[in-house]
Structure 1
Amino acid sequence: MPFDHNDHYHRLLLRQLPKEGRKESRHALDIGCGTGRFARRLAGHGYQVDALDTSAEVIAEAEAMGGGPRYRRADVTATDLPEGHYDVITCLASLHHMPFATVTRLRAALAPGGALLVLGCYAGRTPRDLVAVPANAAARVAVHVADRLRGAPRPPLRAPVRRPDMTLTDIRAEATRLLPGSRVRQLLLWRYLLTYNA
């Protein structure tokens, strides 16, 4: 069914965007952009967006949708990032596809006052995840019924998926070590929000 866990949290992420910033231009980097849904939302908030993904197929679909971001097929672990450049860097369900220590490269690419926002996936189960099961089922059914009633077109192409291998405890420990001052908050639907301000 077409309910997307990551899209569900777009509004939460947008509320975390830096309130202040450079007046002349604001730059964003979206890592693992997929078909560009969140990158387009960042562009709609006035950011010049660089959107990266390793999948040529999803980048082609993102480019076909347009909307402002500059899409590029690239692996952020092997790409030179401009130091101190981005006002916001986002990773939506993509950090677990790479070594967690990649966050240090992202930290270096943040402009002063910039924000790193990670909507991540974690391994294992916590007591809170038991609540997510019925909530997830209800959301999937509601979206499916709404799409059927309005005759929605085929679901969009999905980016490749990989199971996370770090638990929430591991993520918190590594974030504390690599991003002092960062916060990790558990969310419903098997996600966490990591925030870090340069």
Structure 2
Amino acid sequence: MPFNHNHRYHPLLLSLVPPGAKRALDVGCGQGRFARRLAARGLDVDAVDVSGEMVRIAAALGSPGPGKVDVRRVDVANDDLERNAYGFISCIASLHHMPFGTVMKLRDALHPDGVLAVLGLARPSTPGDYAVELAFAPVNVAARVVVAAGEWLNGGPDPTPEPPVEMKFPTMNELRRDARELLPGSTVRRLPFWRHLLTYRKPLA
């Protein structure tokens, strides 16, 4: 299992927020770290997760302002979402736990010119994919060592629970194929540490 590098991509995801966006949906919000970063940018954020424990933790942490964070337990794959409601939707390490067709519901929840940004896990498919992973393997090991040392110096691992993780995710080729079919005009960018970034902007008309 690759080390959890999701937080290092928060600045990249924030750079995708469209100018003038006022409302965001953070799918699979976990402890609400990214939702709070969106709120700090002034967006009102609906932070949702299927885990009641994660919702409890995120709700207790609240918002740094000026935007609000509304934390709710929602199963995005099965529950209804408000249509044409959001200027920005983020999915960080969450979409690969749902049917990929869920992106159609997320697409409909965007208002025109809104952006969907999916940071997820996908298995390499092409020689280029494998080359990226090979190049960053030493960084992954070094990150594990640094975090383990920090935990040791601070009295042990963080007892705060992380969301449950099922190690099952698609290949990059499967992801690229499904994105072309369901989100025409989207882009899929390969990132280090088994990550990808899928970006989609909803057409104005």
TM over 0.5: yes
CA distance in 2, matches of 1:90, 1:164: 20
Q: Answer with 121-130 or 4-13: which moved more.
A: 121-130
Aligned residue for 2:77, secondary structure, equals helix
**1:15-52 Cα distance to aligned partner (Å, 9 max, x none):** 1111244xxxx110010111111111111111110011
Root-mean-square deviation (CA, aligned residues, Å) is 1.9
Give the TM-score taking structure 2 as reference length: 0.86
Give the residue type in structure 2 aligned to 1:69.
V
Aligned residue for 1:9, secondary structure, equals helix
Residues 86, 109 of structure 1: 8 Å contact kept? yes
Q: Answer with 120-129 or 171-180: which moved more.
A: 120-129
Q: Answer with 34-43 or 60-69: which moved more.
A: 60-69
Q: By how many angstroms is 1:155 displaced?
A: 5.1
Aligned ranges 1:134-153 → 2 under 5 Å: 134-146=138-150
Residues 132, 190 of structure 1: 8 Å contact kept? no
Q: Does 2:90 align with 1:90?
A: yes
* Residue matched to 1:45: 41
Q: By how many angstroms is 1:154 displaced?
A: 2.5
CA distance in 1, matches of 2:71, 2:84: 20
Give the TM-score taking structure 1 as reference length: 0.89
Give the residue type in structure 2 aligned to 1:36.
G
Aligned ranges 1:57-76 → 2 under 5 Å: 57-67=53-63, 68-76=68-76
Q: Answer with 116-125 or 49-58: which moved more.
A: 116-125
Q: Rate the CA distance shift 1:161–1:69 in 2: closer, same or farther, 3 A.
A: same
Q: Answer with 157-166 or 89-98: which moved more.
A: 157-166
* Residue matched to 1:18: 18
Q: Does 2:40 align with 1:36?
A: no
Aligned residue for 2:34, secondary structure, equals helix
Amino-acid identity (%): 48
Residues 183, 196 of structure 1: 8 Å contact kept? yes
**1:29-79 Cα distance to aligned partner (Å, 9 max, x none):** 010111111111111111110011111111111111111411111100122
Q: By how many angstroms is 1:80 displaced?
A: 1.2
Match of 1:156 among 130, 154, 160: 160
The number of residues matched between the two structures is 192
Q: By how many angstroms is 1:146 displaced?
A: 4.7
CA distance in 1, matches of 2:51, 2:157: 23
Q: By how many angstroms is 1:114 displaced?
A: 0.5
CA distance in 2, matches of 1:186, 1:156: 30
Residues 123, 164 of structure 1: 8 Å contact kept? no
Give the residue type in structure 2 aligned to 1:58.
M
